[in-house]
Amino acid sequence: MNTMKAIILFLAILSLIFVGCKKSETETTKSDLLISGIWIHDNDMLDTNGNLKPDDERGLQKNISFDFRKDGSLIYTKDQFIAQLSWTFEDDESSIKIVGAMDTLSIPVVMESVYSIFKLDDNELIFYVMSSPSYPETGTFKIYRHE
């Protein structure tokens, strides 16, 4: 009977060791990916064939960066223009809402924009933006990479 108690005690200790040594697997969230660094504009891809993939003609390359912060603030730079904006996820984290003027040259000045997320991983952020309400089948993919 003592042997049986020793075996049970040994197995109990062994199971505690395995449970205690198990790695903590935390999943990287979209917020973690966004705030992990500064996103630098690579280029635009025009979706001229309406297939909702960035596989058409290459658009403009611009000097734009996004620095998403954990507190919901966003430092946006375009050429010499720097703006303090705010951001939140929308639609179950499938789009990003940006509040604030990203371009003071547009008339009227747009104070709020929602961008559909096409791709977001460790290295690449791709937004999809309708070109205009009158041409919803044509859009632009704005591609960013980590600095």
Check pLDDT > 80 for residue 130. no
**Beta-strand pair 139-146/64-68:** unpaired
Residue 33: its pLDDT value, please? Answer: 93
Give all domains of the chain, ordered by start, each with its CATH number. Answer: 28-146 (2.40.128.280)
54 by DSSP, 3-state: which?
A: coil
pLDDT, tens only, 18-75: 655 555 567 889 999 999 999 998 888 877 777 777 777 777 777 889 999 999 999 9
Q: Which residues of 84-110 are buried (b: 16+ CB within 10 A; e: fewer)?
A: ebebebeeeeebbebebbbeeeeeeee
110 by DSSP, 3-state: which?
A: coil
Q: How many residues does the chain have?
A: 147
> How far apart, in whole angstroms, are the C-alpha atoms of residue 70 and residue 100?
17
In this structure, the number of other CB atoms found within 10 A of the CB of residue 140 comes to: 19
Residue 18: its pLDDT value, please? Answer: 62
Residue 74: its pLDDT value, please? Answer: 95
30 by DSSP, 3-state: which?
A: helix
Rounded to an integer, the average pLDDT of 63-89 is 92
